[in-house]
Homo-oligomer: A and B are copies of this chain.
């Protein structure tokens, strides 16, 4: 446990600092304009030249100097009109108020703050920036790799993923057997693991994914099944028809597997690495296994043509904070976490990319969309 001494107020640097200022509460339960808002850290006010710690410390309150010269931390709601309250916002003593930051985690900048966690469902998601990044990558011929788990397919983001593939935003798709199986099951039977696109369970549906796999095995490959008209739409269909490379790597829980799946992990890692070596951006969605696998092989940086280097943009989307933290704990510190549902992420990201494209297209007739984008 951290232990420390109170500030050495005999140090000359404290001598020149002014006394704290106080102003009266304008009404019962109301703090004066410019009041000093407390934190839970050791706090001192200079009163008649003497640095004094208030009694009853807590955060989110004011500093009250009572008639006997005693200093208290006091909630605003408990004030009486005329109570003398410390004024100021600087915490470095320059307004007579000093906060000791020994207990502040160093990264946040030695100041008491809220909302400092790295990954949280409570953080806003900046879709505009992600949309611009994707367009920049496409414009400059970058190589964004997309790494996805099966929840993307169960949650019915197939159409949106296909759109990104068809519109040039995907350098390569890295996934497992299950993503392709459920995508193909959805194309052939309209279900994933027997569940319809509105979440109902179908009778006898538990065999649908096995029948889908079997059809592709009979056809010999996914490309061949596309050619024969067995697979008519979706993620794998778009990869095949748009000639976007994909790597399907096996896992111990695979059904089938599909004929395109690389079942030996060493061969599979070598195949994936051919793409991570070229990657200029990575988008990982709803998969712990493949995200960490990709992170293991991915440099945290990329060299730009002008000789500068920059962080390799790495977006990790998951429904729980844990997967993103785990990815970082395995060394992929550059990952930017988005805590949301795969279906919603894909839908909104596409919307923002479409808006950005519309805004960049002079004369393109989509005023409604442009207005909507402008208003945001």
Chain A residues packing against B (C-beta within 8 Å): 1-6, 26-27, 29-31, 35-37, 39-42, 56-60, 75-77, 89-91, 99, 101, 103-126, 129, 150-151, 154-156, 159, 176, 192-195, 197-199, 201, 203-207, 209-211, 213-214, 217-218, 249-257, 263-266, 268-269, 272-273, 276-277, 288-290, 292-293, 295-301, 304, 307-311, 313, 319-322, 325-326, 328-334, 339-345, 347-348, 351, 365-366, 368-369, 376
Which residues in B have their C-beta under 8 angstroms from that of A331? Answer: 39-40, 59, 112-114, 206
Which residues in B have their C-beta under 8 angstroms from that of A6? Answer: 307, 309
CB pair B112 A206 closer than 8 Å: yes
Which residues in B have their C-beta under 8 angstroms from that of A273? Answer: 56, 58
A249 touches which of B103, B252, B325, B351 (Cβ 8 Å) = B252
Determine the main DSSP class of A at the interface with B.
loop
* Closest B residue, CB atoms, query A73: B299
CB pair A114 B195 closer than 8 Å: yes
CB distance from A174 to the nearest CB of B (A): 9
CB pair A203 B115 closer than 8 Å: no
Which residues in B have their C-beta under 8 angstroms from that of A90? Answer: 204
CB pair B252 A121 closer than 8 Å: no
CB pair B110 A107 closer than 8 Å: no
CB pair B39 A213 closer than 8 Å: no
Which residues in B have their C-beta under 8 angstroms from that of A272? Answer: 252
CB pair A255 B60 closer than 8 Å: yes
In the complex, 28 of the A-B residue pairs with CB atoms within 8 angstroms, ordered by the A residue number, are: A3-B304, A4-B308, A5-B307, A30-B214, A35-B211, A37-B210, A56-B273, A58-B296, A59-B206, A60-B210, A112-B331, A113-B331, A114-B331, A115-B195, A115-B329, A120-B326, A121-B319, A121-B322, A121-B342, A123-B155, A124-B154, A252-B272, A252-B289, A263-B265, A264-B265, A319-B320, A344-B344, A351-B351
